Amino acid sequence: MATQRFLTLDDVAEILNVSWSQAYAMVRRRELRAIQVGGRGQWRVEKDELERFIQQKYAEAGGTLAAEEQVADGVDADSAR
């Protein structure tokens, strides 16, 4: 049997441990790419796209954490560049 390529917003919400509304808001803000199929509220997200989104969020968090660590160490993040 073929593996599933697409996830519903319910699936995405469960994986990210957020509400359906939060998952939908990410789609509306174009943070998470999705396609609309069928009727209203019928959105699908490719598994690879969700993985890309998660990696992007980790990268953003890494940059934020690095800047916070520099500030905690007494180094101004802007002057360190």
Please report, for the domain that includes residue 12, its CATH number. 1.10.1660
Residue 81 resides in a domain: no
User: Residue 17 — φ and ψ, nearest 5°?
Assistant: 55, 45
Total of domains in the chain: 1
Range of the domain at 33: 6-72
In this structure, is residue 78 part of a structural domain?
A: no
Please indicate, yes or no, if residue 21 is contained in any of the structural domains.
yes
- For residue 17, being part of any structural domain is answered with yes
Give the C-alpha separation, 67 to 16, whole Å. 25
pTM above 0.85, yes or no: no
Whether residue 31 is contained in a domain is answered as yes
Digit-by-digit pLDDT tens for the chain (81 residues) are 567 899 999 999 999 999 999 999 999 999 999 999 987 879 999 999 999 999 999 888 887 655 666 656 665 545 554
